[in-house]
Amino acid sequence: MTPPSAAHLITLIVQNGAWTPLGAITLAGYITCSRGLEYQDMTHRVLGSYAMIFTAAGTCDYQDDRGRRLELRPGDFLLLFPEIGHYYAPKPEVRWDEYFLVFKGPIFDLWRQHGLLDPDRPVLHADAIWDWTARLMSCLQNNGRTGMAEAMHQICMLQVLLADLHAAVPRDDGAGAMATQWLEEACRLLGDGQIGHMDLHGLAARLNVNYDAFRRHFTSVMGISPGKYRLARCIDAASERLATSGQSNKEIADELGFCDEYHFSKRFKQVTGMSPRAFRRQVVGGE
């Protein structure tokens, strides 16, 4: 059960989204202090659509009628499939916050046909929680669009998010098994401290690795270049500061190594689809 002091709050952003030739996002929003689903029996709930559940805070138990049992943790994307019965609920006395999108249509059936939506791999984990929160929200912004135009934009943005998610999640294959100690150290350094100030050639030299080999092997294993990985960590760090502190854009830009607040704002919007101010206002509720 959710702690008695925690208020269960559902905020809907999309409801009954318009149908397009590609499909539709039919429902989307976020839940603070989610209670998950009511457990009924081992047939579980069959949704009839695809869905994505993103765990922003807390832990959650998931099970489905294929016998799969998983524990979701912050940063996990849970993919639900139209015909698979499922059930999920947070741990007792744990606050669990989730973002959700329900979607269907031929474009997503095609993704499934080619293994990009895979019922045998229902959970994808991404560490940059604030960054992915912003990306989810940017999928749902209409920017003045209405009707079909809005729905098509949301579908396209969701496809970009799914593609970026696959690229960001390390692959569990032979290349992943070849990850060496220097690669793990590179990830640690790129995600720690003054990451925006770090020169990648200098980082490779520090690790005693040729830069071209470093970049090639890092990209092969991680599915993303060192530069894009560093930028993602920078934006994630910036997102956390925007969400939890009163720092100005200039203070954040200086701290994370951007040349100025305008460059920071431009890069932040390139990655998340919204300005730092919009992130505070729409994702966090600030000004």
Q: Is the pLDDT of residue 79 over 90?
A: yes
The residue-averaged pLDDT of 56-68 equals 88
pLDDT value at 181 more than 70: no
Check whether domain 174-284 has CATH 1.10.10.60, yes or no:
yes
When pLDDT is cut at 50, 70 and 90, the band that residue 144 belongs to is: low
Reported as a pLDDT band with limits 50, 70 and 90, residue 42 is very low
State how far the alpha carbon of 59 is from the alpha carbons of 96, 215, 217, in Å.
6, 35, 33
What's the pLDDT at 190? Answer: 80
Domain boundaries, the chain: 9-168, 174-284
CATH code linked to domain 9-168: 2.60.120.280
* pLDDT confidence bin for 165, thresholds 50/70/90: confident
Pairing mode of beta strands 24-32, 9-15 = antiparallel
144-164: average pLDDT = 81
Confidence of residue 142 (pLDDT cuts 50, 70, 90): low
The CA distance from 142 to 280, in Å, is 17
**pLDDT number for residue 226:** 86
Domain 9-168 and domain 174-284, same fold? Reply is: no
